[in-house]
Amino acid sequence: MKKVLIPTKLDTVAAKTLVAAGYTVVQDAETPIDAQVAANPDATVLIVRSEKVTPEVIDALPKLKAVIRAGAGFDNIDIAYARKKNVDVMNTPGANANGVAEEVVAMILACYRHLVPADTTTRAGLWEKKKYMGRELTKKTVGIVGLGNIGRLLAKRLQGFEPTLIGYDHFLAKQRAINIGVTPVPLEQIFEEADIISLHVPGGASTQNLVSHELLGKMKDGAMLINCSRYGVVDEAALAEVRASGKKILYATDVHPKDAAGDKPSAAVADLILPHLGANTKEANFNAAKRAAEETIAYFDNGDTSCVVNAEVPLGLNPMQLQLAKMLATLARLVGGNKAIRRADCTFSGSLRSFRKWFTPKLLEGLLPHAEKGLPPPMAEVSIREHGIVYQAKEPLAGNVEEDSIVLDVMTEAAASKHETVSVCGIVAENTPIISSINGFKGLYFDLRGHLLFVRYADRPGVLARITAVLGDAEINIENITAPIDHEAGETLAVIKTNKPVTEAQVSAVATLVNALAAFSVSF
C-alpha cells in the first residue's frame, strides 16, 4: 500500500479520494515539513503547495516516486535534483486561475469604494461618509496586460460591468483576443487610455520593471494599477516618483519578493496590499487538491505521466535536439519581427519522427517566451492552441529522409510578404546545434551556441566591413561569421558570433549604418 504525505493545508478531498483508492494518507498542516518527512520515511508520494521540496527533503524519503504541486508554479521544488533521484514532479495548472481573476474584481471594487479604510473608521465609531466618495466600475475602460488563462477569465468575469476591454499580449493572435471580447492594442495605448490596468504576465528578466517610469507617466490621473502577476513587474520606485510629482495613481498588489511575514516593500506605495490571496479560495484549493489526487492515482494505476514536468528525455532522443527546437523557434519568432504567430508547422525527419510530441514544450518556449515553462507535451499543445496558434507536427512529405533534421515554418499574423512567413531548418552535428537555413538563405551551417547578431540587408559590397567596424569600436570580438546570399531576393544575411552580447543600442547603430532590412541579436 502506497503512502501519500500531505504536509500542507489542502482540501480534504485529496485525502478522501486517495484513501478511497486504497492509499494510506498522512496529512498535517501544522508540523514543519522536515519533521514530517523524518517521521514518514516510507512515503511514496509528496503533495505540497508552497512548501520547499529541497534535496534534503527528497533524500529523507528513499521510497519517494512522485512530488505533486497542488498549483501551477513549481519553483519551490528542486526538479533537477528530483530527476537525478528518479522522482517525477507534477503540477495542477489552471486550478487557481478563476480565484485570481475574481480577486482582481474584488480589488477593483475595494479600491473604488474605499472598503478597507471605511470599515476601519466606522468600527472606530467615526462617520466619514463624505471622505469616502467612491467610483463605479460600470462602463470603465479596463486594460488587461497578458491574456493567458487568468487574463481571459478576467475579461469574462468583467462582462457584467459593461466595460470597454482593451488588452495586450504580444504573442496572442489578434483574432483570438477579439473572440474573447478584448480589443488588442499596443502596451503604451493601454496605459494612456485605461481607467484600470490589470497585470497578468510571468516573472523573470523579460518582464522585470515592465511597468516603467515611462508607462506610469502615461496613465490617466486617477487610474488604477493592479499587480497580481509577479513582484518586480512594476517598478515601484518609479511609481513612487510619479505619484510624488502629483499624479494620482491607485495601486493594488498581491505579490511580494517572498511569501512570508515581514516588512513588504510595496507597503510604501500600495493603496491596497494583500498576502498573495489570489489562489487562496476554497474552490481553488478544492480543485487543486482533487486534481493532485487524480494525477497520483492515474500515475500509479495507469502509468499516466502526461503531467510530469521534469520527465527524462526518452531513450534514443538526444537532449540537444530539444534545445535545437527551442533555438529554431526563437529564431523563427525573431526573424518574423516578434509579431503574433498564427501558424507553426514543424517537420521532423529521420529518427526524430517518433519523438515528435516531446518537442512541443520546447517549441512553445521558443515561440512564446512568456508562456509557462516546463509543461508536459499535452499541456504544451493546449497552451499553443490557447494562444491562437494552429500547430502541426509533421513528417516529410516525400521520401524517407534519414537525416535527423527539424524544419519549422511559422506564419505571423501580419504575413503579407515572404519575410513574414519564416522557415528555419537545423540539425545536431557532433552534439552541436546547427542552423542550416533561414528562408532563402541556404548553407548557413552555423553553431547556434553563444552570442549571435543577425543582419539582413540588400546585397552590395562593403557592408560586412561596416558591421565589423561598429563591433570593433565597441570592443566586441568576432568569433565566427557567415553571410550567405539569397540571389533571388538580392539580399544577404550576415550571422556573426561575438564574445559578448550585442546590445539593442549597438544593433540599432549597425542597422542604421548599413540601412538594414532587419537586425537583431540573441544569446543561447
| Whether residue 506 sits in one domain with residue 393 | yes
pLDDT for residue 399 is more than 80: no
* Domain boundaries, position 496: 319-523
Residue 90 phi, psi dihedral angles, 5° rounding: -125, 160
User: Do 422 and 445 share a domain, yes or no?
Assistant: yes
Each as own residue / partner, the long-range contacts of residues 38-43 (CB below 8 Å, 24 or more positions apart, any chain) are 40/3, 40/5, 42/3, 43/3, 43/4, 43/5
Element at 424 (helix H, strand E)? strand 421-429
240 & 349 share domain: no
Identify whether residues 103 and 90 lie together within a single domain.
no
Same domain, 170 and 241: yes
Q: Is residue 124 part of a domain?
A: yes
CA distances from 509 to 409, 470, 477, 478 (A): 30, 8, 17, 17
Same domain, 336 and 259: no
Residue with cell 480589488: 107
**22, 30 in Cβ contact below 8 A?**
no
Q: Are residues 295 and 246 in the same domain?
A: no
Residue 314 lies in a domain: no
Q: Is residue 196 part of a domain?
A: yes
Tell me the helix, strand and coil percentages in the chain, rounded to 5.
35, 25, 40
pLDDT in the model for residue 347: 93
Structural domain contains residue 307 = no
Say which CATH number the domain at 85 has.
3.40.50.720
Judge if 185 and 107 occupy the same domain: yes
| CATH label of the domain that carries residue 476 | 3.30.1330.90
Judged against a pLDDT cut of 70, whether residue 453 lies above it is answered with yes
Q: In this structure, is residue 311 part of a structural domain?
A: no
Mean pLDDT score, 285-312: 90
Q: Please check whether residues 296 and 365 belong to one and the same domain.
A: no
> Are 150 and 127 found together in one domain?
yes
Tell me how far apart the alpha carbons of residues 104 and 144 are, in angstroms, rounded to a whole number: 11
Is residue 210 within 8 A of residue 192, CB to CB? The reply is no
Q: Is residue 257 part of a domain?
A: yes
> Are both 110 and 44 inside the same structural domain?
no
| b/e burial code for range 467-503 (CB count within 10 A of at least 16 → b) | bbebbeeeebeeeeeebbebeebebbbbbbbbeeebe
Rounded Cα distance between 20 and 106, Å, is 37
Give the SS3 label for residue 427: strand
Domain-embedded: residue 309: no
Model confidence pLDDT, tens digit, residues 418-443: 557 899 999 999 889 999 999 999 98
**290 and 339 belong to one structural domain:** no
**Looking at the 3D structure of the chain, how many domains does it have?**
3
Whether 491 is in a domain gets the answer: yes
- Structure confidence by residue, pLDDT tens digits, 250-289: 999 999 998 889 999 999 999 999 999 998 899 999 999 9
